Amino acid sequence: MERTNAWTKYDEKTVADVMRTASDYIAFLNRGKTERECAAQAVEMAKAAGYRDLKDVIREGKALKAGDKVYWLQMNKAVLLFHIGKRPLAEGLNILGAHIDSPRIDLKQNPFYEDTDIAYADTHYYGGIKKYQWVARALSLHGVVVKKDGTSVPVVIGEDESDPVVGISDLLIHLSQEQMVKKASEVIEGEKLDVMLAGMPLSGEEKEPVLKGLLKILKDKYGLEEEDMLSAEIEVVPAEKARDYGLDRSMILGYGHDDRVCAWACLEAQLKLAGTPEYTCATILADKEEIGSVGATGMQAVYFENALAEIMALCGEEGNLALRRALAGSRMLSCDVSAGYDPLFASAFEKKNAAILGRGVCYNKFTGSRGKSGSNDANAEFIGRLRKVMDDHQVFFQTAELGRVDLGGGGTIAYICALYGMEVIDSGVAVLSMHAPQEIINKADLYEAVKAYGAFLQNMGPRN
């Protein structure tokens, strides 16, 4: 059973829509290289679409009704959007959930040191990466430094054409005989992912003059002291911009497709809902998925449940039982990317159950690893209803598993939300070179994801 390549069915107008959608997404991706930057963009887009801050609504004590739109910003790193529907919330919501964190390298809290006339920053990598892919390339610094007085200083260095970039050096090939026989996981060790920041000694300084020069730059440009790094979150990410990929411009090369491609598609679908939906529609843009969905901004935290409880109270549906019914009766797409089939690494896949670029949005009945360990395994009844919605709205979709059965696997936020008893399935865009500093997607799959998520929000009904 082979699925159709979406491009073969597109007319000229649709192709133009696909390209326009991709252009909007590329702009989002280039402005959002961290979870904080993506959250800020999401809030900006939500406000422009008429959403109000739920915290303001709570403070004002105003009731909510069908048609109202609110958002919740969690610690500047996660965002929730709610479009109140006609039906009581206790009958369940239609929910899209994605994550906006991506694999990267973080500066440690006490990062700076000098060695042999070079100033470095110690780092700790975040999420699953192939460490050797992060050396000998242009990197930029993004984040925030919060001073003791509460002042927040944003940091973005390496994105403007006039900015310098930073990076991590590699050993020259001429001296790499020992390095080249190591396993790929050992070619570059985590403690050797230190970022080069400066190389000019500060005039008049004898002890650590290059480090002193670096600290002077931070003081003069940002008003920062070295100790301020104790309350800083600085992320090291690729400096390259996302751009069209392939001579036919059918694909996009960029950092952070996992999972910002699904996050942006969710945003587009949620913010473009027409009229008042039948069931309340919600979008979750979570943090920390790449390290297990932990912490106060990860999906294992209860901020979604808390926000929903607040909304239900403002809608006149207060009470724990009503909240439990709403959560258990909900339908959700856990929107996360899937491993795209790569003919150059065909042995890692089982082809007829792999996600193929260009064949539409992907549904993974289960993820996990090997014997479905750690997986949400979606129920057949839910999938049957979902298939009808997709076909009724002419969405190109495919189903897939994450690689060969015994080879590995991965997880999403699906199993966490399924704990409430709601119906959940993984849905996303196929990606090549996943978790690399530059990943690849097909524009048709992005376009179909937006269509799929919109159709799901507007038309998915409850179980019988």
User: 193-231, pLDDT tens digit by residue?
Assistant: 999 999 999 999 989 999 999 999 999 988 999 999 999
Q: Tokens standing for 22?
A: 């991709």
d(CA 394, CA 371): 33
Contact (Cβ atoms closer than 8 angstroms) between residue 297 and residue 287: yes
pLDDT at 384 over 90: yes
What is the pLDDT of the chain when averaged over all its residues? 95
User: 349-366, pLDDT tens digit by residue?
Assistant: 999 999 999 999 999 998
Q: Tokens standing for 132?
A: 């050797």
pLDDT at 399 over 90: yes
The phi, psi pair for 347, rounded to 5°, reads -65, -15
- CA-closest candidate to residue 386, choices 367, 362, 405, 369: 362
SS3 381: helix
Domains of the chain and CATH, by start: 6-102+255-459 (3.40.630.10), 104-238 (2.30.250.10)
Distances (CA, A) of 301 to 287, 343, 416: 10, 39, 10
d(CA 188, CA 7): 40
Mean pLDDT of 93-114: 97
The pLDDT assigned to 388 comes to 97
The pLDDT assigned to 312 comes to 98
Q: Which helix (H) or strand (E) holds 445?
A: helix 443-459
User: 186-201, pLDDT tens digit by residue?
Assistant: 999 999 999 999 999 9
377 — pLDDT class (breaks 50, 70, 90): confident
Q: Which residues on neighbouring strands pair with residue 143, listed in sequence order?
A: 155, 234
The pLDDT assigned to 373 comes to 78
Distances (CA, A) of 10 to 7, 126, 175, 390: 5, 39, 52, 17
Question: Any idea how long the chain is?
Answer: 464
d(CA 371, CA 350): 15
Task: Note if the pTM is more than 0.85.
Answer: yes
The pLDDT assigned to 402 comes to 84
